[in-house]
């Protein structure tokens, strides 16, 4: 109801404890606050808040057009709706290293459990596209150092993403991952790994949790959770998958509406009114006013 009962500090503490077990935690991407509730209801470990989704939601390409205020605001709306920890994509940190420091504090205040900052230049692009460029080592490390210096809750997860694999190869990615950890990164997101052995190589090179990005139509093969757990991955995200699924279904529904003049043939594919009401806990609002939920919804 209304929002999560678990405080952000508590979510971060629980998240850190779970990460320390070494098991694989599954974080599907929520495309809005309601879908975060669904992710929780279906038994996942956390919620990912994707920059690609946030920008697509506004009808924008994922090239760093969204602002810190927009990202922190939307991430807060999503994070507060679930008891699960939420990890947000902070792109390149929204400016210079000093801006990164401010970004961290805003995201802490927004109730996130952690975030990742990448080493791409601006304008950034999806990590699974060609033609990426990365910043030099000193700038990449400064971003992470200022993030680590700025945080007030030690359990707020600072994850460093490196996009260097696509530019300079796997050895460069391993080298950068090690240096990012030395600079204060609590976890590493090696972007656009080609195969499982590459994930494994990064895994073995550093002693912090590793994230695998299972985004569709990109450079990485879509491995199963079991395959990723086998090579020691700690967090897996499916950042844009629910948005892609919902938009695919919405497009097909509009085609049906054009072809058939009604959506009767699509009812089975829709979230039922009763399931929606359960997800937003309609019934719970009776604790304030018993006239709120005094009806039944036929299935």
Ligand X SMILES: C[C@](O)(C(=O)O)[C@H](CC(=O)O)C(=O)O
The residue from 74, 128, 151, 161 that is catalytic is: 161
Cβ of residue 276: shortest distance to ligand X, in angstroms?
Answer: 26
The reply to whether 165 sits near ligand X by the rule CB under 6 A is no
The residue from 16, 45, 74, 89 that is catalytic is: 89
User: In sequence order, what are the residues at sequence separation of 6 or more whose Cβ sits closer than 8 angstroms to the Cβ of residue 241?
Assistant: 28, 29, 214, 215, 216
The reply to whether 210 sits near ligand X by the rule CB under 6 A is no
Using CB under 6 A, pick the residue from 200, 218, 227, 232 that binds ligand X.
Answer: 218
- SS3 assignment, position 277: helix
The reply to whether 85 sits near ligand X by the rule CB under 6 A is no
Q: Are 134 and 121 in contact (CB under 8 A)?
A: yes
The reply to whether 240 sits near ligand X by the rule CB under 6 A is yes
Q: Are 219 and 197 in contact (CB under 8 A)?
A: no
* Known catalytic membership, residue 116: yes
Out of ligand X, Mg ion, none, what residue 203 binds, judged by CB under 5 to 8 A for its kind, is none
Q: Are 212 and 239 in contact (CB under 8 A)?
A: no
The reply to whether 52 sits near ligand X by the rule CB under 6 A is yes
Cβ of residue 7: shortest distance to ligand X, in angstroms?
Answer: 26
Q: Which two tokens stand for residue 231?
A: 């090579």
Q: Are 16 and 155 in contact (CB under 8 A)?
A: yes
The residue from 40, 108, 118, 198 that is catalytic is: 118
Alpha helices in 80-164 (DSSP H): 97-109, 137-150
Cβ of residue 239: shortest distance to ligand X, in angstroms?
Answer: 3
Q: Which two tokens stand for residue 291?
A: 């006239």
* Known catalytic membership, residue 45: no
Kindly list the residues in this chain that would bind ligand X in the complex (CB under 6 A): 50-52, 62, 89, 126-128, 213, 215, 218, 239-240
């Amino acid at each position: 109801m209304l929002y999560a009962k678990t405080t952000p500090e508590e979510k971060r503490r629980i998240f850190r404890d779970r990460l320390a077990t070494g098991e694989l935690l599954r974080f599907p991407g929520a495309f809005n606050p309601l879908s975060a509730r669904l992710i929780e209801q279906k038994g996942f470990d956390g919620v990912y808040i994707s920059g690609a989704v946030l920008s697509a939601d506004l009808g924008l390409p994922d090239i760093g057009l969204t602002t810190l205020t927009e990202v922190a605001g939307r991430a807060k709306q999503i994070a507060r709706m679930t008891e699960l920890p939420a990890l947000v994509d902070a792109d390149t940190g929204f400016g210079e290293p000093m801006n990164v420091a401010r970004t961290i504090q805003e995201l802490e205040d927004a109730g996130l459990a952690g975030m990742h900052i990448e080493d791409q230049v601006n304008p950034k692009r999806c990590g699974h596209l060609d033609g990426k460029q990365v910043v030099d080592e000193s700038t990449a490390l400064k971003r992470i150092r200022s993030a680590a210096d700025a945080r007030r809750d030690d359990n707020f997860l600072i994850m460093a993403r490196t996009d260097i694999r696509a530019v300079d190869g796997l050895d460069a990615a391993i080298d950068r991952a090690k240096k990012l950890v030395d600079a204060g990164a609590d976890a590493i997101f090696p972007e656009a790994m080609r195969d499982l052995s590459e994930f494994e190589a990064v895994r073995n090179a550093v002693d912090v949790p590793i994230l695998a990005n299972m985004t569709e139509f990109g450079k990485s093969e879509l491995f199963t959770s079991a395959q990723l757990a086998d090579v020691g991955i700690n967090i897996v995200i499916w950042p844009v998958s629910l948005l892609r699924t919902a938009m695919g279904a919405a497009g097909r529904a509009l085609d049906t509406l054009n072809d058939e003049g009604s959506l009767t043939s699509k009812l089975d594919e829709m979230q039922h009114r009763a399931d929606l009401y359960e997800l937003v806990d309609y019934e719970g609002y009776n604790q304030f006013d018993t006239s709120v939920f005094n009806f039944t919804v036929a299935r």
